[in-house]
Amino acid sequence: MVELGMPELGGTVMLADPRGYCAGVDRAVITVEKALDLYGAPVYVRKQIVHNKHVVQNLAARGAIFVEELDEVPEGATVVFSAHGVSPAVHVQAKERNLKTIDATCPLVTKVHHEARRFAQDGYHILLIGHDGHEEVEGTAGEAPESITLVERPEDVDLLEFPPGAKLSWLSQTTLSVDETMETVRRLRERFPQLEDPPSDDICYATQNRQVAVKQIAAQADLVIVVGSSNSSNSVRLVEVALEAGAKAAYRIDDVSELDPAWLNGVGRIGVTSGASVPDDLVQDVLTYLAEHGHPDANAVRTADESLMFALPPELRKDIKIATG
């Protein structure tokens, strides 16, 4: 595979780099795997550990049991909280049910939780940019439910009403479109000049890097294929970003079985990428399919290097240390 800094000349397939697993997803998946190795099956997981059906199916085959709520978990059992985070009320419920908890919340999501608590304690009303019903949004909103208003899209800003001089701040879900989020913030600041920014950008590095990479390839692509599940916010955003960046067509697929051969008719250059919770073997399957259907050359278009790693949850590290003596 050839690595190119820019998607100019080369083969018919431009492969985005970076793509796939981010540090938070890698940590969460390994957490469940290590918990199964250490405690044995079953290990319960509240919600999908990450938003990818193949990852969930593979862990379920190893003995993980995925539940929607903690009342489905037997008292005293081990439960892992997903990478998307949970509200304080979930921690309280777990304690009441005497559950052994392992918190696999992505540290970048935990950072947003800390910011929500701090802003609320300082008397700010928080405008949380995100998608209603997403687990991450529910977890963040649960940190200060009386002090948070959800803003889903830029046009929602016009509906907001606050007293003159109200102390306002904004936070965001970590997996949003960078461009749309910044447009929402711009509109918020126009209406509320006193708006306070978070200490640092909430949209995670991996989400931003994958959007930058897909923009790079989309402008010259007849077709962009995004591998990722339908409930993966960052995967869905990649399709939107690709189309906005000039791709003639863009589709999201869970795996190669969903790739429609008709999409390839008359297509020259194809861009391929994947969301932050997608194992790379699913992408390789797509590349193999494309090679078998007249698109044999894959050129990697690298726009960033990622080396960030997160330590496993402390409660798991402690038990691993005890078990290994």
- Residue 4's pLDDT is what? 41
CA distance 146 to 64: 35
Of the candidates 145, 176, 135, 149, the one whose C-alpha atom is nearest the C-alpha of residue 46 is 135
What digits encode the pLDDT tens for the residues 99-148?
A: 999 999 999 999 999 999 999 999 999 999 999 999 999 999 999 999 99
What Å distances lie between residue 181 and 68, 250, 281, CA to CA? Answer: 29, 21, 31
In the chain, alpha helices (H): 23-39, 53-62, 88-96, 107-121, 135-141, 178-191, 205-218, 233-244, 280-292, 314-323
- Residue 1's pLDDT is what? 40
- Residue 297's pLDDT is what? 84
Q: How many residues would you count in the chain?
A: 325
SS (H, E, C) 260-281: CHHHHCCCCCEEEEECCCCCHH
Strands in 2-4's sheet, in edge-to-edge order, are 2-4, 298-302, 13-17, 270-274, 223-227, 250-253
Of the candidates 196, 207, 182, 25, the one whose C-alpha atom is nearest the C-alpha of residue 115 is 196
- Residue 325's pLDDT is what? 75
How many other C-beta atoms are found inside a 10 Å radius of the C-beta of residue 293? 11
Give every residue of the chain whose pLDDT is below 50, as ranges.
1-11
CA 105 to chain centre: 11
Catalytic residue set: 136
